[in-house]
Chain A
Amino acid sequence: MAQPSSVLDGFWLPAGLRHLTRDAEWEVAVPAGRPAAPEPGVAVRWPRLNREQWQRLLRELHAARGPRSAGLVLRWQKALAAVPRLLANQPATLQAVADYSGYPLSMLLLAFAQGELVRLDDLACALGTSPTWQAARDWRPMLGGLPGYLRFFPSRAAERWEAALRGHQPLYRPLPPATFALGFAAGNVPGNGLLAALLLHIANHTALDARDPLPPAVLVRVSRQAPLLDPWVLTAIERVDPELVQGLALLVWDYADEDLQRMLFGQADLALAAASDQTIAALDAQIHATGRPVRFLRHGHKVSFSAVGRGALHDDPTRPARLAAVDSTLWDQYGCLSARVHFVEHGSRHGVTDYAACLRDAMRDLARRLPRGPAPRRFLHQAFDTYKQAEAWGDVQLLTTYDDDCLVVVDGRPWSREQWHATVNRCTGRVVVVRPVDDLRAVPAQYLRQIPAANLQSMSIAVEPERALELTEGAGRCGVTALRSLGHAAFPQLAYSWDGLLPLDLGNRRPAGHFTTLETEDPLADIAPTLARLGF
């Protein structure tokens, strides 16, 4: 195996706690997942603490909790705003993030240049108001005067009746402040650990009765596959506002270390996991074993889709297609937000095949500008072979070639449940199935309903404003938790629903169920500004 040329820190401790690693053992890792030996490049290290070192870390992390600040969310916003300037003169580090995660630098730059993921002023606005039981009966304007709508779908029938009786009463009730919050950020999309740390840190400030609360101590387990970006950004934030991050720690440890997990969950009162369903089930069992009431916010594995209405295809079909291509290209379509199947409505001046051809051109263009990351081409090839065989049976039209770095196919066959599920599973690694439909209103009943509600996440939509809420209603009832405009799939707003949870869920309790939010008032009107923002 080639020797790495540099070893970077894949963990983060505030300056006041870094002395804790002085006597620690270290684990060093190089990019994994490929059978071939990696190229010479970056390696990452993190400390392997013993029990005594862990206990000391937790003690000191608790002692460092802070800051007690009413404007904590905006303080984060201010600190994050300064980060790009600080990081701009460290191109080598960004290149290291790219080398280690496998994603090309151009993709990281495109994703992070958007910055909308951390629009914390919107989040602060949304926290100023709280939904009432009315949200369980009807669509309500988005909290804090933000664009879009919100609705709550209770899990239990009894709560649907309750909604009728309790109209204007608040849906949420505040929880006692958390003292120690644990995060688990899996996967190889950089930034997940930072997001988890930020959300957990502001948790107490989301409580409806919050009065300058002290934030919890926050410990996040970052992924071995993408541990570099988060420490890098936190180090930059520390230079701007050291007090803000003095109670945060990002480390790598093993989920399977039952003793350690017992010790951590034995002290935590809040946990958040963005991980696989299996990992979440394992964490659930570990929490259960402690017998303690740990509040656990679960973000499991999900699937997302696109819906393009006939209104979006009246004029230039390349415009929606270019945005839809971004939604299915970023992070090689491995993310839960990545659009897999694109439902496209018949009946416009430009047909479904026109859209698919534009999508193919756009995805080819993106493949040149944002080359494939770690996604193996073998799955792309297997999808190609599958659809090439299916073409002979009719109603399938492949628009890309075996050697393309993406796949676009129009599949108009009647699908059984097995074929529908196989299609969804196949759409990763830049594989898009364009599905012609007569009317997008049929999508929830015909397709979404056949997927477990717990696996549904978001839809990128391009429909007229008067149709958007109807589509959102149908999708939300099936379990979809967020609808946003085309080109926004990878840039969800923190103020809106993430997997059915609002930021208020961090510090409050409510009846079981999920929120669905529509992040826009007019998806079609968003197309031009989104194209401009992305530089297309």
Chain B
Amino acid sequence: MPALSDFYHLPPAERDRELLEAIQAAHAWHYARNSAYRATVAARGVGPTVAPEQLPRLLRVSAITFKGYVEQLGTPFPQDQPQRVVGWLADQLSLPLPRERSAALRRRYRSLEALLTAIEALYADLGLEIVTSSGTSGVFTLMVRDREAAEVATRAYFTAIAHTWQIGPQHDMIFVMPARTRVAMGRIASIGTRVLDWESESAVTYTMPFSADPDTIRVRTGRTFRRGLRGLWEEQALRRFMVWAYGALAERKVLAETIEALERSRTRGHPVLLLGGLVQLDAIGQHLLAHGGMALPAGSRVATGGGMKQAYPRSPDEIRADLGRALVGIDGRPLPVSDVYGMAEAHWAAFQCPEGNYHIPPWVYVAALDDDDRPLEGSDVVGFLAFWDPLGGGSLYPPFFRTADQVRLVNANAAYDAAKRCPCGDDSPYLRPNSIQRLDLIEEAGCGATL
């Protein structure tokens, strides 16, 4: 099997062939080991071997897979039922998780963070770590990684970022995110720079000076609270304090630390990759604009990610335009400001090329599905993004997912059209800019209510 970086040089047809073989092998491996996956795809008529036309039948929805504990346990607070959480996790994983050890867990934990830490300690010999989604819905996606999965994911992310943006150890990395977090994207940044040993050559700075444990995020997001008095405390006191403290203290600190890190890199003459959420980066951009902007060494760039997760008065395009004015190169030209499209359940991210298109790494097989879960035919289609990531997805769970994101996908696998190759020169599948739309709620087609 070629190395990940070799996929950039494979002709599309050969790439498809390699990927189909890898998907078939990954399916067989997980089918034999993962009881939740086996039950799901077997009910769709798929056995241990899979034909190419059955690929859509391998896809699962991450909310059902990784938030399934809510349905199984009957609560969005898994810390109340530690043993059952381990049982649920064991079903989701393609490794034999010794369930009997769960007897050593307490009957309940005070927080989700405490439970996840306890489970990680319980299975420390397996090197498991549990990561989460950003939790903006109020319910966390819980995913497990082991050392191998973390290394594979790191290699995948950093191969893609090096290819698309030419980012490497020569860059100082400034992440506008907490150093300690379980949020998948933040965790991969932290693990990646460590695994690749970039910290020895370049400065890696996390400018959010607080931990972002799931319980804090849940309360601050304000969508899910505990029942009873504790919930009242969380909603009426703790959340208000958190919102106040973030506005009054943390935002200023994030701003100060980010500016300080940028100044350090500028002084040292190191190129910078500044990566953060749109809202946080907007505050930085506005501050810099008010102070005459900043010129950074050649090769520097700004990356945004995560989309807009809260109501905000300025559009992403306005924010990016201002960032381009606030941060310039030594030649005085605006720094490139590009976006990253990724999700917690994926071990890959799509980086925007100079043409604005989001390139899917070529080792990931993608398609767009219609509303009935059928693949759309054509080299330029609008549908729900589905991906099969047999090489970068690790071996803990089958990395075959149908997302809730409606996208315009060009040159999907098995639908390559040379005439539609991205003008940037990359012939991997890509998503058109401004075409990504989250559609995970039932559209309001009638008068039936959603509770």
Contacts and interface: CB of A to CB of B under 8 A. Distances in A.
Contacts of A378: 369, 371-373, 384, 402
Nearest to A377: B372
A526 B71 CA distance: 38
Contacts, number: 141
Contacts of B229: none
Contact of B70 (A300, A422, A425, A429): A422
A303 interface: yes
Chain B CB count within 10 A is highest, among A300, A378, A451, for A378
Q: How large is the interface on A (under 10, 10 to 19, 20 to 34, 35 or more residues)?
A: 35 or more
A302 B371 CA distance: 24
Interface in A291-334: 299-303, 331-334
12 contacts: A35-B370, A35-B381, A35-B383, A188-B445, A301-B448, A302-B448, A336-B448, A374-B445, A377-B372, A389-B72, A392-B35, A422-B70
Interface in B419-451: 442-451
A385 B61 contact: yes
A277 B382 CA distance: 30
B64 A385 contact: yes
A455 B451 contact: yes
Nearest to B74: A416
A302 B449 contact: yes
A390 B35 CA distance: 12
B446 A379 contact: no
A56 B23 CA distance: 65
Contacts of B71: 386, 389-390, 419, 422
A382 B370 CA distance: 14
Contacts of B74: 413-416, 418-419
Contact of A303 (B383, B384, B448): B448
Contacts of B444: 186-187, 276
Contacts of B371: 34-36, 376-378
B45 interface: yes
A130 to B, nearest CB: 28
Given A375-B445, A377-B373, A392 B450 contact: no
Nearest to A381: B373
Contact of A301 (B40, B75, B406, B450): B450
B68 interface: yes
B449 A336 contact: yes
B313 to A, nearest CB: 17
B446 A388 contact: no
Interface of A: 33-36, 186-189, 225, 274-277, 299-303, 331-336, 338, 340, 374-379, 381-382, 384-386, 388-393, 401-403, 413-416, 418-419, 421-422, 424-425, 428-429, 451-452, 455
B68 to A, nearest CB: 6
A333 B448 contact: yes
A470 to B, nearest CB: 26
B18 interface: no
A303 B72 contact: no
Nearest to B42: A388
Across chains A and B, which 6 residue pairs bring their CB atoms closest together, nearest first? A334-B446, A301-B449, A376-B371, A416-B74, A377-B372, A336-B447
Contacts of A331: 446
Given A301-B447, A428-B442, A36 B72 contact: no
Nearest to B450: A425
B40 A385 contact: yes
A382 B381 CA distance: 23
Contacts of B381: 35-36
Contacts of B120: none
A332 B446 CA distance: 9
B449 A379 contact: no
A132 to B, nearest CB: 32
Interface in B396-431: 402, 406
